[in-house]
Structure 1
């Protein structure tokens, strides 16, 4: 083979390599030499399967219950579904600003404006809502961008892990976990003697409850106090619906007298939560031994589906337990 032939072939090969390099640069760079991380993908498992999502998603839309957990981790979604005024009212200012900066794409999971959502050009959609809503819009969401679905029965810590992994905000999650574990340990160490042998009951009332009714809470923040902190709180028998699902008439308030300590919901300022006010106004409530002896504790629970609000709950629980007299 002549040197001339080799030279020509070498030049052709160099040209081909340069052309391929230009194609790769166009596909994998944003023009500043750093590369487009959103072009790289990774596999993430969710309830709707194993989905390929961007390594570093930049335009995330949150739908349903994923809104506030993602924002709690420092995320800044470009689109969200509506959140109740009561949930917004208790958000830290920075998180509320992040929520309000996003575009509202629907009132709830099943009422998403798909055209509006698509116009945001998301590179990832995070979803948690009822399975009926997924049946309604799920497949169409998946045609817009990689979509991750979690069912409503996903345990809150696992949900936080999943949101952090998908949204690439794991560093924030690590800090929150460390703070959470520190606060739980502090409460156990500080109030261990008080907690041991003390029977607690957590009672509440929602604006959805019929007039003249309340319920015993065994899910939500109450579940955290029982399972993680170690308070002796009632819970439903295995396989039964939560106690919180049963509305009890005010006539049964007197039955709370068998518990040493009662916890009940208050707002951020320590006032009885508005739906619970009718309970504390009854003479039966006022006559309870725990109430008359200062063992009825108002505790603030801004939410229970991500670490940030749960940490605030633990702070409130800590302050409430501090008012109990030490056991002799």
Structure 2
């Protein structure tokens, strides 16, 4: 799998890179999630089971205490209070300078074993050495676990049960709720002030974005990613955060010629101006080109949103937790409130 830069979620095709609710509401939510998955998860002692979004059931004699997770999964679980069971991670954990990658969120990766830092880097020997009891990952398309190499998945799955949480083509609340349910099954206290306060902030931010979008009707927004050869226009019908933004009223441009998986349209730089956007949400992941990298491209400089200085960072793989997503909603609400028509 080639390294950066990449389009949003292009690993899916193996062609590019890769109101506040309170404790009672959270309890009701988790009950609903458990019923939906048919789970009989015990936080302490006794048999432990959890049914994931692939319809697969992990069953253990006791709750797992040694969890290895994709960095995005680890970040979500950590935000919900799973801080003592994650022993290893894989995926973008550290940047080239050795600092934590933004995708790890609050996870203290320096204290964990990193078994791979990029797509295709999954050290099975290190994984086995961790004596894993559970593997957790995102699922974007079909039943494939994100960042688990297809050529070695059978060896990996033979070492421990795995769980996949759907993070593609569903609205943002769904993966947040499912990670909350899994965190509760792993012993996290979802009534903890940190969790309930984060949920309150998330709900408030969602309403702020809804109000901003209503007030700024007609403002066109394009979610995109840049690579040396291509400009990728993302489909708001597939990315979970974009689906939610659209539900809240943000006028996101829908590309008309998307790739096979439906996540984005590939545009040559000569055609980068196909969609006239007032605001560009630009993929901010380390593997994608940033504004400073794109400045030398005339086609980029000519885009109305670029000329207007209305290019803002976008994380196509948000932390699927209330704490991870609340700031994203707040920032987008501010952008929508203050941006001008540019296209």
Instruction: Tell me if TM exceeds 0.5.
Output: yes
TM-score class, shorter: 0.5 to 0.7
> For residues 237-288 of structure 1, what are the alpha-carbon distances to aligned partners after superposition, in whole Å with 9 as ceiling and x for unaligned?
699746654331222234344x4x12232769xxxx7444354444454444
Return the match for 1:318 from 333, 337, 341: 333
- Contact 1:141 1:147 survives alignment (8 Å): no
Return the match for 1:43 from 49, 52, 66: 49
Q: Aligned-pair distance for 1:306?
A: 1.0
Residue matched to 2:80: 73
Give the alignment's TM-score, normalised by structure 2.
Answer: 0.62
- Contact 2:48 2:63 survives alignment (8 Å): no
Query: Is 1:136–2:154 an aligned residue pair?
Result: yes
- How far apart are the structure 2 equivalents of 1:45 and 1:116? 26
Q: Aligned-pair distance for 1:177?
A: 3.8
- How far apart are the structure 2 equivalents of 1:288 and 1:315? 25
Q: Aligned-pair distance for 1:232?
A: 1.5
Query: Which protein is richer in helix relative to its size?
Result: 1
- Contact 2:93 2:117 survives alignment (8 Å): no
Return the match for 1:306 from 291, 300, 320: 320
Q: Aligned-pair distance for 1:115?
A: 5.2
- Contact 1:215 1:243 survives alignment (8 Å): no
Residue matched to 2:112: 102
In structure 2, the gaps of 5 or more residues are 1-41, 139-144
In structure 1, the gaps of 5 or more residues are 1-35
- How far apart are the structure 2 equivalents of 1:243 and 1:276? 25
- How far apart are the structure 1 equivalents of 2:132 and 2:212? 47
Q: Trace 1:165-314 onto structure 2 (pairs within 5 A).
A: 165-168=181-184, 169=188, 171=190, 175-194=197-216, 196-205=217-226, 209-211=227-229, 213-219=230-236, 220=239, 223-224=242-243, 226-236=245-255, 241=260, 245-257=264-276, 259=277, 261-265=278-282, 274-292=289-307, 294=308, 296-301=310-315, 303-307=317-321, 308-314=323-329
- How far apart are the structure 2 equivalents of 1:200 and 1:252? 17
- How far apart are the structure 1 equivalents of 2:302 and 2:218? 23
Residue matched to 1:29: none
- Number of equivalences: 274
Q: Aligned-pair distance for 1:175?
A: 4.7
- Contact 2:213 2:250 survives alignment (8 Å): no
What SS does the aligned partner of 2:100 have? Answer: helix
- Contact 1:301 1:309 survives alignment (8 Å): no
- How far apart are the structure 2 equivalents of 1:48 and 1:174? 29
Residues 1:226 and 1:139: Cα distance change in structure 2 (over 3 Å): closer
- How far apart are the structure 1 equivalents of 2:154 and 2:259? 30
- How far apart are the structure 2 equivalents of 1:167 and 1:240? 34
What SS does the aligned partner of 2:175 have? Answer: helix
- Contact 2:93 2:109 survives alignment (8 Å): no
RMSD of aligned alpha carbons: 4.0
Residues 1:242 and 1:198: Cα distance change in structure 2 (over 3 Å): farther
- How far apart are the structure 1 equivalents of 2:114 and 2:120? 14
Q: Aligned-pair distance for 1:108?
A: 6.6
Residues 1:312 and 1:52: Cα distance change in structure 2 (over 3 Å): same
Whose RCO is larger (CA < 8 A, sep 6+)?
Answer: 2
- How far apart are the structure 2 equivalents of 1:111 and 1:89? 16
- How far apart are the structure 2 equivalents of 1:45 and 1:312? 30
Q: Aligned-pair distance for 1:222?
A: 6.3
